[in-house]
Structure 1
Amino acid sequence: MTTELEGKHQIGDVSLYTKTWKPSGPPKAKLVFIHGFNDHINRYYETFPTLASHGIETLAFDQRGWGRSVKSPSDKGKTGPTSLVISDIVSVIKTQLPSPVPLFLLGHSMGGGEVITLASDPLYSDLTPQIRGWMLESPFVDFTPESKPAALKVILGRLAGRLMPYRQMVNPIPPEHTTRDPEVIKSLYADKLIHDTGTLEGLAGMLDRTAAINTGKAKLNPGTKSIWLGHGTADQGTSYAASKQWFEEQTGVQDKEFKTYEGWAHQLHADTPETRLVYMKDITDWILARVEDESNVKPVEAKL
């Protein structure tokens, strides 16, 4: 039986909403989850309870500007600069360290881009070896060709982000572009925590992170152990081709898997009732295989 525990993570004067899905017995592994743009952690259906049912404990949190971490209208989309976004993630991860079981990190969409950014940040290179696996669901490595903004618009947006960082801008994402499930589409339209709002600073930071990833400026820290990346070929939110190219360029990581989901949309965890079962099994099996690898490593006996 899975136990769900709501809580909060305090960073200065900001309180971030958290939720933990615990297995019935001692965990075999732990997972920290990072959600996407215009998203919150209670939209992942059976993903986290399924992981917990297999002994994988999950901790997730609503990032600044999103979900239940928004306390007033002015908070909507107010993520802060990339340095703050990444330090928030690190702050949450450190609540799980040292971990008696292997620790994994999974990010969806914008959150996937943030996971890559963290794995590439020299400031946190000491954290890299402590993460057993870096997992990416439809990561924001680049826009799709159809959704890519004009270069001039991007330049002006970055400039405006410096001049008016907290200026809010509504940036709606059509639910029909994220999933093939009509019921999920209805729920996205009805969800009061989906506010379609970003700040110019936050949007500019997301663009900068994405540019650093897809141009190769962001390079994974030494000691990155394992990567799993899953992406649907019919994704209208982030680029399948860019994800595959980035993955193939990570030649320094020996243990890596790229999973193609033919015809699937952006939210692998909420695409259709049938396909999301496949996704959940894939990530569960990948984590547990590495837990088994860890347990099969025999300690080296000290020689006197």
Structure 2
Amino acid sequence: MPTEVEGTHKIGDLSLYTKTWLPDGTPKAKLIFVHGFNDHINRYYGLFPYLASQGIATYGFDQRGWGRSAATHAQQGLTGPTSLVISDIVSIIRTQLPSSVPVFVAGHSMGGGEVLTLASDSKYEDVIAQIRGWILESPFIAFPKGFEPSFLKVFFGRLAGKLLPHMKLANPIPPENVSRDPEVVQSIKDDKWLHGNGTLEGLSSLLDRTAQLESGEAKLSKSVKAVWIGCGTEDKGVSYQACKKWFEAQTQLQDKEFKTYDGWYHQLHADLPDNRDVFPKDVAGFILARCEGGRVGDGSKL
């Protein structure tokens, strides 16, 4: 059985909540996972235990402003600018480097956009070069069709973000839009750690990252070795079409995979009970195929 370990990671005066899922025996690989907007690392159901059961040590954390890392109401949604968000992720990654086994980095939704932003930042070339592969679950590259904010809302939002950076705005994705499972939807509504508050600075930074990814301004480092993207065709949190377009534009990459989940919603790790084991097996398969002697086993059930 995988071992779960809770802890903290200190960055300045802030303690980030961390959680690790460790396999029995020596790990075949390591995975650092970055959660999405209005989310926390304990909401990924059987994904991390399953990965650990396959020999993949998984390291997660609640991002600054989210989950248990927001110890007070004042800290909720207080993420800071993109530079701070990315430096937090890098700080977590560095705890696992250098490594005797391959290291992978994954992100869901907003976290997927952050992971791609990191993989495109020359400031962290030394870290990027040590990552064996990048895994994106429904990455936030663009808004889905019909859910795009108006030009004026974006313009004035960015302006307000500069004038009133710490002003908070409740902006959660409707629970019904992220999963087809009614129990998951209800659990989102009941979860006390999901406050839904973003600061204007944080939301503005999110919009900027998304625009840079969608336009191609943010370009993957030449040190990126492999990329896997999974996205549902009925995703109401991010644009499936934009994810596919971004993937197809990465012509410089030799090792890349795009998995279409037909009819699935935003949270591939929590879509429906009947398919709950599909996404974890896909992620494990990608990782283990790039590890010496690695393959997905059949012994674990979600």
TM bin, normalised by shorter chain, reads over 0.9
Q: Deviations over 1:206-232 (max 9, x none)?
A: 000000000000000111100000000
Cα offset, 1:293, TM superposition? 7.4
Counterpart position of 1:299: none
Give 1:78's aligned amino acid: L
Equivalent residues in 2 for 1:191-230, closer than 5 Å = 191-230=191-230
Cα offset, 1:276, TM superposition? 2.2
- Where does structure 1 lack aligned partners over 5 or more consecutive residues? 296-304
SS in 1 for 2:57: strand
Equivalent residues in 2 for 1:149-164, closer than 5 Å = 149-164=149-164
- Counterpart check, 1:3 vs 2:15: no
Counterpart position of 1:59: 59
Please give the alpha-carbon distance, in whole angstroms, between the structure 1 residues aligned to 2:117 and 2:192: 29
Q: Is the 8 A contact 1:125 1:222 kept in 2?
A: no
- Counterpart check, 1:269 vs 2:269: yes
**Percent identity between the two aligned chains:** 63
Q: Is the 8 A contact 1:103 1:133 kept in 2?
A: yes
Counterpart position of 2:134: 134
Please give the alpha-carbon distance, in whole angstroms, between the structure 2 residues aligned to 1:292 and 1:136: 22
Please give the alpha-carbon distance, in whole angstroms, between the structure 2 residues aligned to 1:102 and 1:144: 34
Please give the alpha-carbon distance, in whole angstroms, between the structure 1 residues aligned to 2:276 and 2:114: 23
SS in 2 for 1:104: strand
Q: Is the 8 A contact 1:234 1:263 kept in 2?
A: yes
Q: Deviations over 1:131-176 (max 9, x none)?
A: 0000000000000111100011101000100111000111132100
Please give the alpha-carbon distance, in whole angstroms, between the structure 2 residues aligned to 1:253 and 1:274: 34
SS in 2 for 1:147: coil
Counterpart position of 1:80: 80
Cα offset, 1:97, TM superposition? 0.3
Q: Is the 8 A contact 2:37 2:111 kept in 1?
A: yes
Please give the alpha-carbon distance, in whole angstroms, between the structure 2 residues aligned to 1:66 and 1:262: 30
Please give the alpha-carbon distance, in whole angstroms, between the structure 1 residues aligned to 2:99 and 2:164: 41
Counterpart position of 1:41: 41
- Where does structure 2 lack aligned partners over 5 or more consecutive residues? 296-302
Cα offset, 1:274, TM superposition? 1.9
Cα offset, 1:294, TM superposition? 9.1
Give 2:246's aligned amino acid: W
Cα offset, 1:29, TM superposition? 0.2
- Counterpart check, 1:100 vs 2:96: no
Counterpart position of 2:117: 117
Equivalent residues in 2 for 1:252-291, closer than 5 Å = 252-291=252-291
TM-score by length of 2: 0.96
Counterpart position of 1:27: 27
State the superposition RMSD in angstroms.
1.1
Q: Is the 8 A contact 1:28 1:101 kept in 2?
A: yes
Give 2:224's aligned amino acid: T
Q: Is the 8 A contact 2:162 2:201 kept in 1?
A: yes
Please give the alpha-carbon distance, in whole angstroms, between the structure 2 residues aligned to 1:276 and 1:257: 20
Q: Is the 8 A contact 2:288 2:294 kept in 1?
A: no
Please give the alpha-carbon distance, in whole angstroms, between the structure 2 residues aligned to 1:156 and 1:229: 32
SS in 2 for 1:45: coil
Q: Is the 8 A contact 1:64 1:79 kept in 2?
A: yes
Counterpart position of 1:145: 145
Please give the alpha-carbon distance, in whole angstroms, between the structure 1 residues aligned to 2:288 and 2:274: 22
**Residues 207 and 293 from structure 1, CA distance in 2 versus in 1: closer, same or farther, beyond 3 angstroms?**
farther
Counterpart position of 1:186: 186
Please give the alpha-carbon distance, in whole angstroms, between the structure 2 residues aligned to 1:127 and 1:24: 27
Cα offset, 1:247, TM superposition? 0.2
Q: Is the 8 A contact 1:78 1:199 kept in 2?
A: yes
Cα offset, 1:287, TM superposition? 0.4
SS in 2 for 1:244: helix
Q: Is the 8 A contact 1:9 1:18 kept in 2?
A: yes
Please give the alpha-carbon distance, in whole angstroms, between the structure 1 residues aligned to 2:6 and 2:293: 32
Q: Is the 8 A contact 1:32 1:104 kept in 2?
A: yes
Please give the alpha-carbon distance, in whole angstroms, between the structure 1 residues aligned to 2:262 and 2:200: 34
Counterpart position of 2:298: none
Q: Deviations over 1:37-91 (max 9, x none)?
A: 0000000000000000000000000000100001111111100000000000000
Give 1:112's aligned amino acid: G
Give 2:270's aligned amino acid: A
